[in-house]
C-alpha cells in the first residue's frame, strides 16, 4: 500500500520552474512591461511554490451510480447485469467497468457510506458542492471557491480557480456565495481558451501596456489620501493580473501537447478537459474543476454507464499516472463527487433514480491514505450500515486533506461561519 | 379589533398620500384645520441630521472632512439620483451658475427629482433592494418607476406587493415579489423580513437565534404563519383560510406557531368558518400590523437608503437590525425613520439625505489625524459604482449618448400634450438598452471588490473597444480632430471626469500623448485618442463614486 505522509514534493519545484520558464520566458523578453514580471518572480516565490497544494474537483453531474462503480452488489436484485473485478486492495472489488482504476486502487480512497438525504438535483448539488444545507439568507461558497481562496499564492499571475465543464448538465457555475466575487473562477464555457485574453485588434502589446500604465498611475494618484483608498488598491490589483493571464494563453492551448498525450487521455471532451486540467495544475493553478454530465440515468442506466464509466476509468487513471509521474500527486487532492447516487431499485425503464441515502465518492492524492475503503452499505445497497458520512463530513475531509482546519471560520456580518458545518467531522480513516 | 387594525393601515396610507402631494410645492393653501399635520420639509430634516451628526462627531472627538468641491458634488448627485455622470454641457452650466451656493444646490436637486430620470433610475435601484437576486424584471421595474413618478408612498408599495390588488395591467407586476417566492415558504418569510423589516430571522428557524437575543423560533414561525396560506404562483396567487405552521421547539416538542409579528404582537384569528365568511387574510394582517407598528418598516427603508448614499447603513449590515447591533450614530436612524413614517414619501427622504452637509463631504482626507472609522460618516468613502451606473456613465463619457437638451419643437409638443420629459425619458431608455449587455460583465458594488474578469473584459473585449472607438461623434473621434495635445488632454478630462483639469495632470497626459506618438510609426492619432479615453474611463476616478 502506498502512503502519502507529506504534501511537500521536492521534485516538483524544479519541474515547475522549468515549465514556467519555457512557457513565459520568450514572451517576457519581447515585452517591456512595468511592475511585476512573472519571469523575475519565479525564483523568489519558489519556496512558497514548493509547498503549494492544489485540488482537482471532478464533478459527475446528474448523479453517478455507485452500483456500477464503487459499491457493486453482484447477484442481488439491486445489482444489475455487470460483474465485479478484484482491485489492488485485497478483498475490495469494483464494477468490471473500471479495470484501470481497479489496478490503481492503492492510490485511491473510497467512501461507500454517504447518507446525504437530499435527492433533488439543485438542492443536492448545492449541498454537496458547498457542504452546507441551503439557507435562505446566507449563500455558502462552493468548496472549490473556498479551496482556491485558501490555496492561492500571493502575487501569482495565474488564475486561482479554473472551472471547465463538458456538457450542459454540468453547467452550474461555482457560486462565490458570501465570499467576494473576486474569488470567482475563470470559467471555460464555450471554448477551452478563456475569454478576453487576446490583444484587441489593432493594438500592439506595447500600446496595450502603455495605456494600462497610464490607467494605473492615474488611479494610484487619485487614491492618495482618500477615504476608501484601499478599494482602489484591490481594483488596481485586478488590472495587474490581466497581463499575466494574457501571457498564459499558451497554457490553455492543447495544441502544444504532443499527439500521444491527447490520445492517452482520449479525444473525448472529458479526456481533453482533464488533460487541460493537468496542464493548469502543473503550471501552478491551485484549483481546477472539471464537470462531466449525463449521469442522470432514469432510463437505460446500464447502457449509459457502460459508456460513461469506462471513459471515466481510463481518463482518471491516465491523470493519476501523469500527476504521479510529475511528482504532483502528493500535493494535489483529487475529488470525485456527484450530487447523489442512484437507487438500488431498478425502475421499469431499466433506469435508476436519484438516491441520497447510501452512495459513494472517491479521493486521491494530497493528504489521502491511498488504498482505503471506508464505510459499508447493506447487502442490497439500500442503507448505510457502517461509517455513515454527511455532506459536511465530505467537506471537512477535503479541507483537512489539504491542511486547512475545517473549524476555521469566516466572519459574515455578525456571524462566524466555519468552513465546514459545525457538526462535520473529517473522515480520519481515509486521511494520511 | 381586527378591522380596526386594517383600517388603521389604510388611514396611514391616505394621510401619507395627501401630505406628500403637498410638501414639495410648499403651497400654504392646504394648511387648514381639517388637514393632516404638516410633515417636515427636506431642508429642515437635513439640518437636523447634520446637527445630530455634528453632536456625534463632537462626542467622538472627530473633525469631519472638508466639503467636496462643486464639480465633485454635482457628479456625485447625478450618479446617485440618475445613475449617470453629468454631460459636459450640464456640469459646465452648473459651475457657471452664479446663484448662491445653497440655493443653487437646492434648485439643482429639485430639477433632478422632478425630472424624468430620477424615477427611471430609482425604479431600478428599488428593484434591487426589494427583489435581491430576483431583480431585473422590466415589468416590475416599470411598476416601481410609475409608482415613484406618481409619488406613491412606500407604505402603499408595501401593501401592493403583499396584498395587491393585482387587477389592472399597471398593478399586475406588483405581484412579482410574492410570485417568485410563493413556492418556498422559507424564502418568502426570510426575504420579507430582511427587505421590509431589516431583520434576518432565518437563524431562528432551527433554534432560537444563537447570536441575537431578540429572535426566537416563535418569531421565525410567527412570520412564516403570515405566508403559509399563500397559494399559487405566477398569475394565480391566492390565500387559503386554514392551515397553521407547526415546528419542533426546544426540547423537541411539536408547537403550533402563533400569528405573531416581529415585535411580539400576536394577531387574534377568527375560527375557520368565520375566517372563510369574512375572507380573513393573514397577509392583510401582516400589512396592517406592520403599518401599525411602523418602526421596523420605516427604519429598514431609511437604513437601506442611507446605505445607498453613504455606502453603509446606520445599522450595518442593513438586515441585522436588532437590540445587539445599534445604529452607529445613536438615535439618528430612529428619529429619521419616525419622520419618514409621517408620510412614507421616498422622494422626500431622498431629498433630505442628499441635502445634508454630511452627504457633501469630501472623499479626500488630508487632515493630519487618522481617518475615522467609516461608521461615523465623517468623510465620503469611495464606493464602486454599480454596473448600471458604470455602464451608463461609460456611454456618456465616450459620447455614445449625449442627453442633448430637447429641441424647441419637441419641447413645444411636450408642453402641448402635458408630457414634459418624454424626450429625455426616451433618451434614458435608449441608453439603458445600450448599457444592458455590459451589466453582467461588471462587478457589483455590494462588497466593493474588483474581479479580474471585469478587468479582462474592459481591457480586451472587442465590443468594449468598439464602444470607446472612433466612430464620428464619439469622444475619441472628436479628440483626434484636435490638433494640440494639451487641448486633447484638457478636453478629455472635462468630458470624462466632469471637472476642469488640473495643470499637472494636463502635463502628464500631454507627455503621454507625445510619447505614444513618437513610439508608434506611423502615428495613428485616432488610436492614441481611443487609448487615452480607455485609460481615463478605467481609472479609479471614473470607476468609483467619490
pLDDT means per 10 residues, chain A with 432 residues, are 40 33 31 26 37 93 97 96 97 98 98 95 92 85 96 85 75 84 84 90 93 97 94 91 86 92 93 95 94 93 97 98 94 97 97 97 98 98 97 98 94 87 97 96
CA closest to B188 among chain A residues: A136
Residue by residue, DSSP assigns B422-461 as HHHHHHHHHHHHHHHHHHTTSPPSTT----HHHHHHHHH-
Contact B539 A219 (CB under 8 A): yes
Closest chain B C-alpha to A83 CA, distance in angstroms: 44
| pLDDT the model gives residue A167 | 61
Question: Which residue blocks in A112-228 are alpha helix, DSSP H?
Answer: 121-130, 143-151, 205-223
Residue pointed to by grid coordinates 492517452: A264
Percentage of chain B beyond pLDDT 70 is: 93
> CA A396 to CA A400: how far, in whole Å?
6
Contact A241 B203 (CB under 8 A): no
Task: Read off the C-alpha cell for B131.
Answer: 427583489
Of A190, A194, A315, the residue nearest A252 (C-alpha): A194
Nearest by CB to B449, from A197, A234, A245: name it: A234
| pLDDT the model gives residue A123 | 86
| pLDDT the model gives residue B470 | 80
- DSSP for residue A352: -
- CB B136: neighbour CB atoms within 10 A? 12
Contact A195 B461 (CB under 8 A): yes
Distance between alpha carbon B171 and the CA centroid of its chain, in Å? 22
> CA B124 to CA B388: how far, in whole Å?
9
Query: Are A16 and A284 spatial neighbours (Cβ–Cβ below 8 Å)?
Result: yes
CA closest to B195 among chain A residues: A137
> CA A396 to CA A363: how far, in whole Å?
13
Total-model pTM: 0.83
| pLDDT the model gives residue B211 | 65
| pLDDT the model gives residue A12 | 36
Predicted confidence (pLDDT) per residue in B427-471, tens digit: 999 999 999 999 999 998 877 788 888 999 999 999 999 999 888
Contact B540 A223 (CB under 8 A): yes
Nearest by CB to A197, from B448, B460, B539: name it: B460
* Least confidently predicted of A306-320, B36-50, B110-124, B153-167: B36-50
Sequence-separated (6 or more) residues with CB below 8 Å from residue A277: A56, A162, A164, A288, A290, A319
Q: Does A89 touch chain B (CB under 8 A)?
A: no
Task: Read off the C-alpha cell for B123.
Answer: 425604479
> CA B491 to CA B488: how far, in whole Å?
5
Tell me the mean pLDDT in the region B49-53: 98
- CB B243: neighbour CB atoms within 10 A? 12
| pLDDT the model gives residue A243 | 87
Read off the pLDDT band of B210 (50, 70, 90): low
Query: Are A394 and A131 spatial neighbours (Cβ–Cβ below 8 Å)?
Result: yes
Distances (CA, A) of A39 to A17, A27, A30: 10, 10, 12
Residues 185-224 in A contacting B (C-alpha not used; CB under 8 Å): 186, 194-204, 206-208, 210-212, 214-215, 217-219, 222-223
> CA A154 to CA A151: how far, in whole Å?
10
- List of chain A residues whose C-beta atoms are within 8 Å of the C-beta of residue B371: 227
| pLDDT the model gives residue A414 | 73
Residue by residue, DSSP assigns B232-296 as --TT--EE-S----EEE-GGG-EEEPP-B-TTSPBPP---HHHHHHTT--HHHHHHHHHHHTTHH
Residue pointed to by grid coordinates 462565490: A176
| pLDDT the model gives residue B36 | 54
Percentage of chain B beyond pLDDT 90 is: 77
Closest chain A C-alpha to B296 CA, distance in angstroms: 18
> CA B318 to CA B304: how far, in whole Å?
6
| pLDDT the model gives residue A46 | 40
| pLDDT the model gives residue B218 | 92
> CA A111 to CA A70: how far, in whole Å?
9
* Least confidently predicted of A28-42, A382-396, B56-70, B322-336: A28-42
* Least confidently predicted of A258-267, A415-424, B199-208, B295-304: B199-208
Residue by residue, DSSP assigns A364-388 as EETTB-TTEEE-EE-TTSSSEEE--
| pLDDT the model gives residue B215 | 85
Predicted confidence (pLDDT) per residue in B240-271, tens digit: 999 999 998 878 889 999 999 999 999 999 98
Instruction: Give me the phi and psi of A363, to 5 degrees please.
Output: -140, 160
Contact B539 A223 (CB under 8 A): no
CA closest to B531 among chain A residues: A211
Read off the pLDDT band of B26 (50, 70, 90): very low
| pLDDT the model gives residue B34 | 52
Sequence-separated (6 or more) residues with CB below 8 Å from residue B147: B123, B156, B157
Nearest by CB to A202, from B453, B460, B527: name it: B527
Query: Are B216 and B209 spatial neighbours (Cβ–Cβ below 8 Å)?
Result: yes
> CA A338 to CA A360: how far, in whole Å?
9
Helix (H) or strand (E) holding B523: none
* Least confidently predicted of B129-133, B291-295, B343-347, B367-371: B367-371
Test the B interface: residue of A218, A221, A242, A413 with most B CBs within 10 Å: A218
Query: Are B123 and B131 spatial neighbours (Cβ–Cβ below 8 Å)?
Result: no
Q: What is the ipTM of this complex?
A: 0.90
Nearest by CB to B452, from A200, A238, A414: name it: A238
With vertex at residue B215, the alpha carbon angle to CA B210 and CA B221, rounded to the nearest 5 degrees, is 110
| pLDDT the model gives residue B151 | 96
Residues 392-421 in A contacting B (C-alpha not used; CB under 8 Å): 413-415
> CA B17 to CA B13: how far, in whole Å?
6
With vertex at residue B175, the alpha carbon angle to CA B173 and CA B181, rounded to the nearest 5 degrees, is 125
- List of chain B residues whose C-beta atoms are within 8 Å of the C-beta of residue A237: 450
Query: Are A252 and A283 spatial neighbours (Cβ–Cβ below 8 Å)?
Result: no
Closest chain A C-alpha to B357 CA, distance in angstroms: 17
Residues 144-163 in A contacting B (C-alpha not used; CB under 8 Å): 159
Tell me the mean pLDDT in the region B289-315: 96
Amino acid at each position: 500500500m502506498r502512503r502519502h505522509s507529506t504534501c511537500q514534493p521536492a521534485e516538483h519545484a524544479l519541474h515547475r520552474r522549468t515549465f514556467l520558464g519555457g512557457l513565459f520566458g520568450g514572451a517576457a523578453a519581447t515585452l517591456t512591461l512595468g511592475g511585476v514580471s512573472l519571469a523575475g518572480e519565479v525564483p523568489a516565490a519558489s519556496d512558497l511554490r514548493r509547498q503549494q497544494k492544489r485540488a482537482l474537483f471532478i464533478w459527475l453531474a446528474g448523479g453517478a451510480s455507485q452500483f456500477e462503480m464503487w459499491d457493486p452488489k453482484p447477484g442481488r436484485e439491486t445489482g444489475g447485469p455487470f460483474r465485479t473485478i478484484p482491485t489492488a486492495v485485497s478483498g475490495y472489488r469494483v464494477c468490471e467497468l473500471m479495470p484501470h482504476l481497479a489496478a490503481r486502487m492503492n492510490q485511491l480512497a473510497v467512501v461507500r457510506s454517504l447518507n446525504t438525504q437530499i435527492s433533488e438535483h439543485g438542492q443536492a448539488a448545492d449541498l454537496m458542492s458547498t457542504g452546507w444545507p441551503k439557507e435562505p439568507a446566507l449563500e455558502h461558497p462552493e468548496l472549490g471557491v473556498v479551496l482556491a481562496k485558501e490555496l492561492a499564492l500571493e502575487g501569482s499571475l495565474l488564475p486561482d480557480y479554473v472551472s471547465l465543464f463538458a456538457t450542459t448538465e454540468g453547467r452550474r457555475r461555482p457560486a462565490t456565495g458570501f465570499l467576494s466575487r473576486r474569488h470567482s473562477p475563470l470559467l471555460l464555457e464555450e471554448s477551452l481558451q478563456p475569454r478576453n485574453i487576446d490583444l484587441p485588434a489593432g493594438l500592439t502589446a506595447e500600446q496595450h501596456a502603455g495605456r494600462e500604465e497610464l490607467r494605473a498611475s492615474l488611479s494610484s494618484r487619485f487614491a492618495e489620501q482618500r477615504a476608501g483608498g484601499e478599494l482602489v488598491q484591490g481594483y488596481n490589483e485586478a488590472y495587474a493580473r490581466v497581463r499575466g493571464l494574457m501571457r498564459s494563453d499558451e497554457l490553455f492551448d492543447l495544441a502544444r501537447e504532443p499527439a500521444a498525450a491527447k490520445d492517452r487521455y482520449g479525444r473525448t471532451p472529458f479526456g481533453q478537459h482533464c488533460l487541460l486540467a493537468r496542464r493548469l495544475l502543473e503550471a501552478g493553478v491551485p484549483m481546477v474543476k472539471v464537470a462531466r454530465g449525463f449521469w442522470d440515468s432514469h432510463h437505460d442506466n446500464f447502457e449509459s454507464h457502460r459508456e460513461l464509466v469506462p471513459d471515466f476509468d481510463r481518463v482518471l487513471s491516465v491523470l493519476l499516472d501523469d500527476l504521479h509521474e510529475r511528482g504532483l500527486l502528493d500535493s494535489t487532492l483529487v475529488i470525485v463527487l456527484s450530487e447523489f447516487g442512484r437507487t438500488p431499485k431498478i425502475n421499469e425503464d431499466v433506469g435508476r433514480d436519484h438516491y441520497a441515502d447510501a452512495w459513494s465518492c472517491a479521493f486521491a492524492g494530497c493528504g489521502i491514505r491511498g488504498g482505503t475503503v471506508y464505510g459499508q452499505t447493506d447487502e442490497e445497497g439500500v442503507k448505510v450500515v457502517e461509517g455513515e458520512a454527511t455532506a459536511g463530513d465530505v467537506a471537512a475531509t477535503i479541507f483537512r486533506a489539504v491542511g486547512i482546519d475545517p473549524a476555521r471560520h469566516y466572519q459574515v456580518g455578525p456571524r462566524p461561519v466555519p468552513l465546514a458545518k459545525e457538526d462535520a467531522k473529517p473522515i480520519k480513516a481515509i486521511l494520511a | 379589533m381586527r378591522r380596526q387594525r386594517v383600517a388603521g393601515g389604510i388611514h396611514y396610507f391616505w394621510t401619507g398620500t395627501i401630505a406628500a402631494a403637498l410638501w414639495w410645492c410648499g403651497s400654504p393653501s392646504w394648511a387648514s384645520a381639517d388637514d393632516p399635520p404638516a410633515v417636515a420639509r427636506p431642508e429642515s430634516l437635513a439640518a437636523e441630521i447634520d446637527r445630530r451628526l455634528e453632536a456625534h462627531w463632537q462626542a467622538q472627538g472627530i473633525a469631519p472632512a472638508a466639503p467636496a468641491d462643486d464639480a465633485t458634488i454635482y457628479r456625485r448627485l447625478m450618479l446617485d439620483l440618475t445613475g449617470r455622470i453629468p454631460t459636459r454641457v450640464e456640469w459646465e452650466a452648473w459651475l457657471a451658475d452664479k446663484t448662491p451656493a445653497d440655493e443653487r444646490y437646492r434648485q439643482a436637486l429639485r430639477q433632478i427629482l422632478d425630472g424624468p430620470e430620477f424615477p427611471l433610475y430609482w425604479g431600478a435601484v428599488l428593484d434591487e433592494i426589494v427583489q435581491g437576486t430576483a431583480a431585473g424584471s422590466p415589468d416590475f421595474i416599470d411598476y416601481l418607476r410609475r409608482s415613484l413618478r406618481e409619488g406613491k408612498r412606500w407604505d402603499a408599495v408595501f401593501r401592493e406587493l403583499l396584498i395587491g390588488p393585482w387587477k389592472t395591467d399597471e398593478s399586475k407586476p406588483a405581484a412579482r415579489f410574492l410570485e417568485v417566492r410563493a413556492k418556498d415558504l422559507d424564502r418568502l418569510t426570510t426575504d420579507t423580513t430582511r427587505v421590509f423589516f431589516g431583520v434576518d430571522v432565518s437563524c431562528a428557524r432551527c433554534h432560537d437565534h444563537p447570536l441575537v437575543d431578540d429572535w426566537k423560533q416563535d418569531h421565525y414561525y410567527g412570520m412564516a404563519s403570515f405566508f403559509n396560506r399563500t397559494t399559487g404562483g405566477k398569475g394565480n396567487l391566492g390565500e387559503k383560510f386554514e392551515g397553521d405552521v407547526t415546528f419542533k421547539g426546544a426540547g423537541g416538542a411539536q408547537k403550533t406557531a402563533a400569528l405573531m409579528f416581529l415585535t411580539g404582537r400576536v394577531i387574534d384569528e377568527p375560527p375557520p368558518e368565520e375566517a372563510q365568511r369574512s375572507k380573513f387574510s393573514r397577509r392583510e394582517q401582516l400589512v396592517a400590523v406592520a403599518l401599525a407598528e411602523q418602526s421596523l418598516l420605516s427604519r429598514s427603508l431609511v437604513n437601506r437608503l442611507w446605505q445607498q448614499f453613504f455606502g453603509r447603513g446606520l445599522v450595518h449590515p442593513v438586515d441585522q437590525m436588532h437590540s445587539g447591533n445599534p445604529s452607529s450614530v445613536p438615535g439618528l436612524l430612529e428619529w429619521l425613520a419616525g419622520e419618514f413614517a409621517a408620510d412614507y414619501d421616498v422622494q422626500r427622504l431622498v431629498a433630505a439625505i442628499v441635502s445634508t452637509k454630511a452627504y457633501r463631504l469630501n472623499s479626500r482626507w488630508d487632515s493630519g489625524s487618522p481617518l475615522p472609522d467609516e461608521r461615523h460618516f465623517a468623510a465620503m468613502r469611495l464606493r464602486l459604482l454599480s454596473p448600471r451606473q458604470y455602464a451608463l456613465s461609460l456611454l456618456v463619457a465616450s459620447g455614445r449618448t449625449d442627453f442633448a437638451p430637447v429641441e424647441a419643437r419637441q419641447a413645444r409638443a411636450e408642453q402641448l400634450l402635458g408630457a414634459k420629459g418624454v424626450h429625455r425619458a426616451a433618451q434614458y431608455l435608449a441608453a439603458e438598452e445600450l448599457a444592458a449587455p455590459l451589466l453582467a460583465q461588471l462587478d457589483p458594488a455590494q462588497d466593493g471588490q474588483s474581479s479580474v474578469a471585469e478587468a479582462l473584459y474592459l481591457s480586451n473585449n472587442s465590443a468594449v473597444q468598439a464602444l470607446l472607438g472612433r466612430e464620428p461623434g464619439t469622444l475619441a473621434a472628436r479628440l483626434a480632430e484636435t490638433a494640440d495635445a494639451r487641448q486633447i488632454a484638457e478636453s478629455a478630462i472635462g468630458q470624462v471626469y466632469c471637472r476642469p483639469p488640473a495643470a499637472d495632470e494636463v502635463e502628464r497626459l500631454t507627455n503621454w500623448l507625445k510619447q505614444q506618438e513618437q513610439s508608434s510609426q506611423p502615428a495613428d492619432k485616432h488610436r492614441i485618442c481611443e487609448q487615452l479615453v480607455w485609460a481615463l474611463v478605467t481609472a479609479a476616478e471614473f470607476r468609483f463614486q467619490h
